[in-house]
Amino acid sequence: MTQRAFVGMGMLVFAVALVSLAIVYVAGGTPSGGKGLRTPWGAPDLQGIWSQQTDTPFERPAQYGQREFLTEAELAARNTELGARPAHSTYRDTRKQRGTEQDVAGAYNAVFQADRPNKSGRRTSQIVDPPDGRIPALTSDAKSRQAAMKTYLDDLLQGSSGGRPGAPLADKSATHPPIYNLERMNRADGPEDRAGGERCFGAVMPAMGALQRIVQSPDSVEIFYDIGQGGGFSRVIPITGMPHLPSSVRQFYGDARGRWEGDTLVVDVTNFTNRSEFRGSRENLHLVERYTRSDAGTLAYQVTVEDPTTWTRPWTAIVELNREDGKANLVFEQTCHEGNYGLLGMLANTRAAEKLFKAGQGPDPNRMDLATGGGGDN
Amino acid sequence: MRSRLIVSVLVALGVIAVALSVWSVTTAGQIARPERTADGHPNLSGIWQVTSTANWDLLAHGMRPMVGQPGVYADVQVLAAPVVALGEAGIVPPGPGVVEGNAIPYKPDAAAKKKENAEHWLDRDPELRCYKPGIPRAMYMPQPFQITHGTDKIQMLFQYAQASRTIHMDQVNPPPADTWMGHSVGHWEGDTLVVNSDNFNDRTWLSRAGDFHSDAMKLVERFTPITADALRYEVTVEDANVFTRPWTMKMVLYRLLEDNAQLMDFKCVELVEETFLGHLRKNQLVKRWDGDTMTVDITRKIPPVDKLYER
């Protein structure tokens, strides 16, 4: 090989390399990026502690119509409104009628309430599709499922302090709910009568704006969600191209498979169980999640929710997660079950009340309300 | 001569640039796991599990009934309720032990408590209630765990009870209260990941044999690759309330190499309700209670093959 040819080849290799680097740079698209927003192995860096620090309604208030973002004036007005709002919802300060189950439950739950954000997000709603920002209509199947469950739960309240007091008592004998119960029920015959949250499996996917820690490697992402009175959970997203679990295996947090589409981590989640519920959807829930690092302080989380047995069409929501101070390290392990004296107490108290009533020493436990106290109902 | 040098530099730069670009392209898609991370440390990412019987007993042990009772010979135990119906599945598998010197240096009163714990295993072991396993026990539960080796955190998710831990490779504030899974801070010594953990509560155990610790426990763990698919795992336990001196366990973590290996749901809280809350049911399902005593009726229908007299 002549020296000239050798030089030429060297130049060619270098030129090809430069071009290919440039292609990668353009395809990879680091416009908002820059160093620090990519991992050392070149993927967008999703790592850190994230939470939703702004207040955005889940569904769009009718006044905004099909508009996705607030105007500057609307944003300013909302910020003023939120700034004046107490950091916690009303039942920390306002008491229910003393001597009622609702008053006791409210006091208990208020202790665990996190402060609410006092800043507005720019979006008019978290739901961005359908264009009206509202959850699509339920299918007739879902409507009848929910109606049957509501009737069942209402019947159990009959004649109690929580529903139509004085009405004839419901027959609380061992009738099964129409679907696996995850609600607060006015019965405590056994753990299955209590709500999913009370049994420490109330945290569900998608955990929208939850406080979360993300750790990432080239072939997996692990997320720890610190939510719901210690009822949080962890999940791992393999990024390996492996197929989903057989459909016979059902999981509380589904079966996640990740892949990169450009700078977005796309996660397909299937195989949910009938013992977890997201807004009426259970084992047929299918999620497509998209994680995009928008800038140094923001991680956009977009989720498309699909269940043809529940909604008439798929729908999509976006939450902009804000980066928390990593050194402060303010996430705490999930240990709901380990300290769950509440579930034991609810069952034990109900058995004790039945015993006392039988001995003529206490009120009729069937007239008590074990369902509507203190929850998210105010 | 000078142009030859320039050519060499150009070729070298070119090769590096091509390599870099190819590497970036592949990392943007699905890639095979490299043996080292981008910063040159052993890549611990993957799904791992011990094959030892350490969770049953940290010390050398032969087979024995999970729950035993004196048989015809007082010193030869037979299976007792509640495992008598399980047959072979009710036997603790043997193991040569994982403790250096095959002795745990309990203080005298702690040794008595360990013995008592073992005798009341069914009532006391937090594992049976599906509580968080704590460290080090999580590392040798007979279920897989996944390591995601991030840039400044190494995250471990354990299949058992959805437990997880974060090993901080950077500076962070400690937790505001004691924890089940501890507060772990790591650093590299050559190819060994060294992890110091504290901030434990006293609620977790070290094995099903009643081994325990106090909230003064501090751990030093060492993870060293033996091959790409095996890690030597050593943990030194220090707890002056319970032990007379620090002591060390050694075992091997193996990588799960199956194509379909993954963590699956083991959200055992739902399935232990019957064991720990069943006595509070209005209508008992499968047990009888007499005061504080639970009676488990074990029904085993003798299958024809066992009825030799009928042949």
pLDDT at A93: 61
User: pLDDT band for position A237 (50/70/90)?
Assistant: very high
Residue B199: CB atoms within 10 Å = 17
Helix (H/G/I), strand (E/B), else coil: A4: helix
* Subunit contact A259:B166, Cβ cutoff 8 A: no
Query: What would the mean pLDDT of A349-375 be, rounded to a whole number?
Result: 85
Q: Which helix (H) or strand (E) holds A359?
A: none
Query: What would the mean pLDDT of A56-75 be, rounded to a whole number?
Result: 96
Q: Return the domain boundaries, chain B.
A: 46-52+100-255
Question: B30 at the A interface (CB within 8 A)?
Answer: yes
Question: B29 at the A interface (CB within 8 A)?
Answer: yes
Q: Select from B274, B73, B172, B106 the least CA-distant residue to A324.
A: B172
Query: Which residues of chain B have a pLDDT value below 70?
Result: 1-32, 305, 308-311
What is the tally of helices (H) and strands (E) in chain A?
5, 12
Q: What is the rounded CA–CA span in Å between residue A189 and residue A38?
A: 53
pTM to 2 decimal places: 0.87
Which residue type does A245 have?
A: L
List the single residue in A42, A43, A189 with the smallest CB-CB distance to B283. A189
Burial code (b: 16+ CB inside 10 Å, e: under 16) for A312-332 equals eeebbbbbbbbbbebeebbbe
Statement: residue A242 has pLDDT above 50: yes
* Subunit contact B281:A347, Cβ cutoff 8 A: yes
ipTM of the complex: 0.86
pLDDT at B14: 53
Instruction: Please calculate the CA angle B209-B214-B218 and round it to the nearest 5 degrees.
Output: 105
Structure tokens at B307: 């009825």
For β-strands B192-198 and B218-227, DSSP reports them as antiparallel
CA distance B271 to chain A (A): 11
Task: Report if residue A22 sits inside a domain.
Answer: yes
Statement: residue A227 has pLDDT above 50: yes
Q: What is the rounded CA–CA span in Å between residue A51 and residue A213?
A: 9
**Residues of chain A contacting B168 with CB distance shorter than 8 Å:** 329
Mean pLDDT of chain A: 85
Cis peptide before B82 (omega within 30 of 0): yes
Task: Report if residue A202 sits inside a domain.
Answer: no
pLDDT at A17: 43
Interface A-B, measured as beta-carbon pairs within 8 A, has a size of 217
The interface residues of chain B toward chain A in range 64-123, judged by CB-CB distance below 8 A, are: none
Q: Express each pLDDT in A274-305 by its tens digit.
A: 999 999 999 999 999 999 999 999 999 999 99
B-chain residue closest to A46, CA distance: B150
Query: What would the mean pLDDT of A233-247 be, rounded to a whole number?
Result: 96
User: pLDDT band for position A252 (50/70/90)?
Assistant: very high
A253-267, A363-377, B151-165, B170-184: range with lowest mean pLDDT? A363-377
Statement: residue A25 has pLDDT above 80: no
* Domain total in chain A: 1
Statement: residue A15 has pLDDT above 50: no
pLDDT at B33: 75
List the single residue in A20, A47, A233 with the smallest CB-CB distance to B150. A47
Question: A334 at the B interface (CB within 8 A)?
Answer: yes
Statement: residue A248 has pLDDT above 70: yes
Per DSSP, the residues of A301-349 read EEEEEE-TTTBSS-EEEEEEEEE--TTTT------TGGG-HHHHHHHHH
User: pLDDT band for position A112 (50/70/90)?
Assistant: low
Structural domain span for residue A6: 1-30
Helix (H/G/I), strand (E/B), else coil: A35: coil
Task: Report if residue A18 sits inside a domain.
Answer: yes
pLDDT at B310: 55
**Residues of chain A contacting B154 with CB distance shorter than 8 Å:** 215
Burial code (b: 16+ CB inside 10 Å, e: under 16) for A277-291 equals bbebbbbebbbebbb
The interface residues of chain A toward chain B in range 28-57, judged by CB-CB distance below 8 A, are: 28, 39-43, 45, 47
Question: B267 at the A interface (CB within 8 A)?
Answer: yes
The interface residues of chain A toward chain B in range 216-235, judged by CB-CB distance below 8 A, are: 216-222, 224, 233-235
pLDDT at A86: 78
pLDDT at A111: 66
Question: A270 at the B interface (CB within 8 A)?
Answer: no
Residue B213: CB atoms within 10 Å = 25
Region class of B4: left (phi > 0), else alpha (psi between -120 and 50), else beta: alpha
Give the distance, in angstroms, between the CA of residue A129 and the centroid of all CA atoms in the same chain.
18
Region class of A243: left (phi > 0), else alpha (psi between -120 and 50), else beta: beta
B-chain residue closest to A246, CA distance: B260
Given the candidates 3.40.50.10860, 2.40.50.140, 3.40.50.1580, 2.40.128.20, the CATH classification of the domain at B46-52+100-255 is: 2.40.128.20
Task: Report if residue A238 sits inside a domain.
Answer: no
Q: Express each pLDDT in A118-145 by its tens digit.
A: 899 999 999 999 999 999 999 999 999 9
Query: What would the mean pLDDT of A194-199 be, rounded to a whole number?
Result: 92
* Subunit contact B3:A3, Cβ cutoff 8 A: yes
Q: Select from B116, B107, B81, B30 the least CA-distant residue to A41.
A: B30
Q: What is the rounded CA–CA span in Å between residue B151 and residue A38?
A: 10
Residue B240: CB atoms within 10 Å = 13
Statement: residue A221 has pLDDT above 60: yes
Q: Express each pLDDT in B173-225 by its tens digit.
A: 999 999 999 999 999 999 999 999 999 999 999 999 999 999 999 999 999 99
CA distance A306 to chain B (A): 22
* Subunit contact B166:A233, Cβ cutoff 8 A: no
